[in-house]
Structure 1
Amino acid sequence: MATRPAPTARRLRLGAELRKLRERAGLTATEASRILGTSQAQISNVEAGRFGVSAERIRSWARHYDCADEALIEGLVSMAIERKRGWWEEYREVMASSLLDLAELEHHAVSLRTAYTAHIPGLLQTVEHAREVFRNGVSELSPPEVEHRVSYRIKRQEVLYRDRPTPYRTIVHEAALRMKFGGREVARRQLEHLLDMSDREHVTVLVIPFDAGAYPGSGQSVCYAVGPVEQLDTVHLDQSHGSVMLDAEAQLGKYRLLLDRMEAAALKESESRDFIRSIAQDL
C-alpha cells in the first residue's frame, strides 16, 4: 500500500483554523458531524491535515459554525483550492520538509516582513554569497548538498521577480552587511545586489547601524508572512535546531510589535541605501 504523503504546513494550518471555527461555535467533533451530515472521522482527518477539503465544504462548515467573517472564510478557501504541486516539491527527496514549508509560505504570502542580525536575507542573497553561507554552516554539507541548498534558495527568490511580485520589507543589521562571506569581492557584489534590489518598488531594505545600540529582537531572525486576513498570518523562525512556525493570535501580535520596534531603530530607507553604499565602497 502506498504511503500517504505527510501533510504540508499549509494544509495543517487550514485544518487548525477549521478546528478553531468549530471550537468557537462550542461544538465537539461528534456534534459537528451530526450537524454537517458527515462522520467524526472525516472532520478529525480534515482538521489534522490528513485529508484535503473542498471550497464548497469550507463555506458550508463555516456557515454551520456561525462564522460571519467572509474575508476569513475566503482566505481559508484560497488555502484549499490550490492543489497543484509547487516547484519546491522537486526538492522533497533532498531537503528537509521544514525548508519546503518555508518556500510554500513565501509563495502564498500577501506580503513579507523579515529581520536579520548576522545574515543577508535569503531572498536577497547572490549565488556566490549563498554558496559561502552553506559551506560554512554548523553541519558540514557535501558539495552536492551545498548546490542543492543554493539552487533552492535562489528558486525561493522567484516571489520577488514574478509578474505580481510579493511586497518585501526587511530589516538588516550592520553586522550582516560587514560579514565578508567569500572575501571582499563576493561581499562587495552582494552589497551591490542588495542596493539594486532596494531600488525596486516592492522591496524595502532598512538598516540598523551599530550606533543604534541595543534594540528589541537583537540576535534573532524573523520572517513574518502576511496572509489574506490577519488571522492567517504566520511567523517563521529559523533556528539552529530547525525552523518553527507560529500562528497563535498573541504570538502574531508580539512579532508585529517587535518588527515595528526594530523598524523604529533602523535608518530611513534612503539613509539605509546610503549606508550600504558606503560599506560597499570601503571594500
Structure 2
Amino acid sequence: MPPRSSPSERQRRLGAELRKLRLRARMSSDNAAKLLEGERSRISYIESGRLSVSHNRLHKLLREYGCPSGPYFDELMSMGQASGKGWWDEFTDTIGPAARDLAELESRSAVLRTHEPLFIPGMLQTEEYAHAVLSETEGNPQRTNRYVEFRLARQRILTGDTPVTCRAVIHEAALHARVGGPNVMRRQLLRLMEVSRLPHVIVQVFPFEAGIYSAYSQSFAIFGGVPPELDTVYLEHPANSLFLRDGVQLDEYAKMFERLCELALAPVDPESAPETHASRDSLSLIQHVMYTL
C-alpha cells in the first residue's frame, strides 16, 4: 500500500508518539526498520502518519522502544487499529478533514477544558445560537443547517454513556453579545445554567473586572486523553485550525487554563439556594445579564 498523502490527526499523533519513544530509546531509524524487516523509509512514513502499522508490528515497536504496559500503551495500540470511521462520516458532504479530525479527537477524549472570550463554547450552544453564529460565516442556508447539525451532534459526548468531563471558562463579553437577538440569548444563557446541572460540567465566567488576561489567551480547547501523555490543544481558525501536541506547548496552555479558572468567578451551581449567593459568582452574573436583555 502506498503512503497516504493526507493522514488524519490521529495517524499523525500516533506517528509522533512512536518517534518520541524511539528517540527516547536512543534507537536509530535504521535499527527500527530492521525490527520490521523493512527499509528506513518505512519508519519515516510511519512516524509521519503516512503509513499504517499492523497490530503485531506496532506491539513489537512499543515493546522494543521500552514503552511500559498501561493506559498509554493500550491507547497507542487502539489508535493504531482505529479505522477513523464514525458518526462524522454522515457529514462528509459539508465538513472538511480538520472538522472530522476534531470529532474523532473528541470521541477519544476523557476531559475537555475550553476557553472562549467572545462566544459561548460550541459544546454548550443551543441550536438557535449556533445557527446565528454559523450563518454569519456561511452564506449558503443549506450548508449552514448542516454545520449546525454537525455541531449539535458533537455535543453528544456530554450526554453519552461515558460522558466527557467538561470545564468551560467563558468571558463576560460572550454573555452580553446579542447573538441572534435578545430572545435567542436568553435561551442560550438559560441553557448554560441547565447544562451546569450535569455533574461532569463546570461553567465559570471570566468577569470584566478580572482584567485582560482572558483576552491575551484567546480561544482554545484542551482535550485530555485517557492517558495524559496524549493530551491535545486545539486552536480553531477559519483558514487553518491547529492541533498542538508538543509537551512544552501543552504545559503552557494547561497553566494558562488554570490561571483563567483562578481569576474567573466561582462556578455555576444551579442547585444552590439563593441565600448562598451573597458574593458575586458565575450564576448570579449569568442571571443578571439574562434579566437585563
Q: For residue 205 of structure 1, give the secondary structure of its aligned residue in structure 2.
A: strand
Mapping 1:221-236, distance limit 5 Å: 221-236=219-234
Report the CA distance shift for 1:275/1:55 in structure 2 as closer, same or farther (over 3 A): farther
Matched ranges for 1:137-152 at <5 A: 137=137, 140-152=138-150
CA distance in 2, matches of 1:3, 1:82: 17
Matched positions, count: 281
Partner of 2:114: 114
**More deviation in 85-94 or 253-262?**
85-94
Q: Distance in 2 between matches of 1:279 and 1:248?
A: 39
> Separation in 2 of the partners of 1:8 and 1:117?
29
Deviation of the 1:141 alpha carbon: 2.4
Could you say if the C-alpha distance between residues 190 and 86 of structure 1 is closer, same or farther in structure 2, counting changes exceeding 3 Å?
same
Contact preservation (8 Å) 1:94, 1:148: yes
In the aligned structure 2, how far is the partner of 1:14 from the partner of 1:3? Answer: 15
**Counterpart position of 1:281:** 291
Aligned partner (choices 250, 258, 273) of residue 252 of structure 1: 250
Q: Distance in 1 between matches of 2:190 and 2:32?
A: 57
Partner of 1:163: 161
Residue identity (%): 38
Q: Which amino acid aligns with 1:19?
A: R
Task: Flag the 1:41–1:220 CA change in 2: closer, same or farther, 3 A.
Answer: same
Deviations 1:119-146 (A, max 9, x none): 0000010111001101122xx4211121
Taking the aligned partners of 2:199 and 2:150, their CA distance within structure 1 comes to 25
Paired position in structure 2 for 1:59: 59
Partner of 1:267: 265
Cα distance between partner residues in 2 of 1:226 and 1:54: 26
Supply the AA of the counterpart residue of 1:46: I
Deviation sequence 1:64-84 (CA, Å, 0-9, x none): 122336332122112223326
Matches of 1:48 and 1:203, distance apart in 2: 35
Partner letter of residue 97 of structure 1? P
Query: 2:206, 2:214 within 8 Å by CA — same for their partners in 1?
Result: no
2: CA distance, partners of 1:100 / 1:65: 31
Shift, 1:242, TM fit: 2.4
Secondary structure in structure 2 of the residue aligned to 1:242: coil
The offset of 1:48, in angstroms, is: 2.1
- Per-residue deviation at 1:262? 0.5
Q: Which runs of 5+ in 1 are unaligned?
A: none
In 1, the alpha carbon distance for the partners of 2:253 and 2:112 equals 13
Relative to structure 1, is the Cα distance of residues 2 and 107 closer, same or farther in structure 2, using a 3 angstrom cutoff?
A: same
Deviates more, 1:169-178 or 1:94-103: 94-103
Partner of 2:272: none
Q: Structure 1 CA distance, aligned partners of 2:5 and 2:236?
A: 24
Q: How far apart, CA to CA, are the structure 2 residues paired with 1:278 and 1:178? A: 10
Moved more, 30-39 or 160-169: 30-39
TM superposition score normalised by structure 1: 0.92
How far residue 86 of structure 1 moved from its aligned partner, in angstroms, is: 1.0
Tell me, in whole angstroms, the C-alpha distance in 2 between the residues paired with 1:170 and 1:218: 17
Partner of 1:95: 95
Q: Secondary structure at the match of 1:218?
A: helix
Letter in 1 for 2:46: V
Deviation at 1:101, TM superposition (A): 1.2
AA at the equivalent of 1:233:
D
